Amino acid sequence: MLTHLSIHNYALINQLSIDFTKGLSIITGETGAGKSILLGALGLVMGNRADLTSLKDTEKKCVIEAQFSIKGYGLQEAFEELDVDYEEQTIIRREILPSGKSRAFVNDTPVTLSVLSALKTKLIDIHSQHQTLQLSDVEFQYAILDALAKNQAKVASYRRGLKKYNSLKRELKEMQEDAQKSTEQYEYNLHLFNELEEVKLQVGEQETLEEKLEKLNNIEEIKQNLSESLQLVISEEIGIQTQLNSLENRLQKISSYSKEYEELHARITSVKIELDDIVSELEEENEKVDFNPYEIEELNDRLQLIYNLQKKHTVSTIEELQHIHAELAEKVAQVEGAGEQIAKKEAEIKEVEGKLDELAGTITAGRQKAIPVLQKDLMYLLSELGMSNAQFLIEVTPNEHFTTNGKDELTFLFSANKGGNFGELKKVASGGELSRIMLSIKNILSKNIQLPTIIFDEIDTGVSGEVSNKIAAIMNDMGSNMQVITITHLPQIASRGQQHYKVYKGEENGVTTSNLKLLTYDERVAEIAEMLSGKDFSESALLHAKELLN
């Protein structure tokens, strides 16, 4: 509900601040007084585009602020989706700077115009004779029917299920496409996998093989040098071992004469022990050296296999080959397990599909029950509004496919005359008829769902007499369930409001301005009398105005 509106430096308005209350509020004023300016200001604060022509004084910024009481509207989730702080008393502010730049705020948080536009449909509905195209919108027609059928929660649940269903179907399609691509490469990947699996590569194996092969390829040189080394060490005449034994004996003879000789003897003994160790290993290595052409061949074959695999997979290490081996194993396993995964996904889709079918059936049943009620209520209200021959043909027929509105096809046709052909509303109904149909529908909706504030902008144009009284009664009836603001030129409607505001022109410092004020009872009487008979109204006009108000 709109509770407060303030406008600063907009069009013909210098400064305006006005409070609104629940129920039916009336706005009247002479043509050109500024009623459209008010709607323009509301449009700006709800996200309409703006330019410098909006500024009354182009050297100052324009500020429009609207406060809404939204407790009970169930808008917490919508605010979360828009990433805006939810407040039961929500303030929306729009600023247009002299530079032409525009800024918007919701509860003092900067937002984009798209956020304001998203909130607009939930907070305010400005309705004029030119804004009845919504009646031909299928989504709006479903919303009307579902409001009467109390289907809103079911439809919301259905749409959540449909979102999941479509997501699962996309996942299944991707799985099937991946499986198809993988299957096409399966044989080749399996061949590569088996090839690497059979080789059973070990980390460090390549380096070990290359070292062994290097040794075997130089076996003669190794054998010769080992043999000569042994000869140098163990020869009885000139061998290092013999000489070292002799040196040890000589130092042993004098080791007792001083600490220094004793240390020298000990060091030579240590060297001799180390040399004996070396001799032992030389003999062992010399005995092991043996030329084996078969071993060289095996080593060459193994290394060549490794080199070939590395070249084939464009890598240079065994670790990289092992990584490729693991990837191939995963690809092969995916193909071999794809059938099972696809079957699981199909079963999940089938389960969700069953629940959707059941829920869609419940929604359809509710709509079928609501259709006679809607047709009856519409025809009654339109009869009251002077369209006694109006008829509606509303049907829901089964649809094989899931849509956002269930598994129904909705037909919403209208005929204004007895025996006339049914057709789409926008094709067979006049502007005045569309306005009265929309008023009737909004009246029905106000009794079944929480509607945003609705502003009727002179939808009573071209209406007079008893019909205007009926329009007034319907608006007043709507005001018992929601906030209704009506801009009107008819005294019959103006007299029915709980609050009456007047838009009027004034002058400040030689400049024309527009203003809005809440009328007192006496001011209302005078305003309605003027609407009845003009500015120079008579005493009888005053009496008639009082009668209307009472």
- Angle at CA of residue 204, ends 201 and 209, nearest 5°: 85
Q: Angle formed by the axes of helices 219-234 and 240-254, to 10°?
A: 30
Q: What is the pLDDT of residue 129?
A: 62
Report the alpha-carbon distance of residue 255 to residue 253 in Å, rounded. Answer: 6
The pLDDT of residue 483 is 93
| pLDDT attached to residue 185 | 74
In angstroms, what CA-CA distances link 82 with 114, 115, 125, 305? 9, 7, 20, 62
Quote the CA–CA distance of 401 and 419 in Å, as a whole number: 35
Q: In one letter, which amino acid is 116? A: L
At residue 128, the 3 state secondary structure works out as: strand
- Nearest CA among 180, 179, 166 for reference residue 348: 166
CA distance 498 to 516: 16
- pLDDT at position 184: 67
The predicted pLDDT at position 366 comes to 95
| Interatomic CA distance for residues 182 and 453, integer angstroms | 57
Q: Write the DSSP string, 377-429.
A: HHHHHHHHTT-TT-EEEEEEEEEEEEETTEEEEEEEEEESSTTPPPEEHHHHS
199 CB-near residues (< 8 Å, 6+ apart): 305, 306, 309
What residues does each domain of the chain span?
A: 1-127+453-469+478-519, 177-337
**96 — phi, psi (to 5°)?**
-120, 120
Distance of CA 396 to the CA centre of its chain: 31
Pick from 524, 543, 494: nearest CA to 27 = 494
* Element holding 283 (H helix, E strand): helix 259-288
Q: Chain-centre distance of CA 436, in angstroms? A: 38
Name residues whose C-beta falls within 8 Å of residue 167's C-beta, 6 or more positions apart in sequence. Answer: none
| Cβ density class 219-230: b for 16+ within 10 Å, e for less | eeeeeeebeebb
Q: Which residue ranges of the chain lie beneath pLDDT 70?
A: 129-133, 182-184, 236-237, 290-293, 336-337
Q: Which CATH architecture has domain 1-127+453-469+478-519?
A: 3-Layer(aba) Sandwich (3.40)
* AA letter at 180: Q
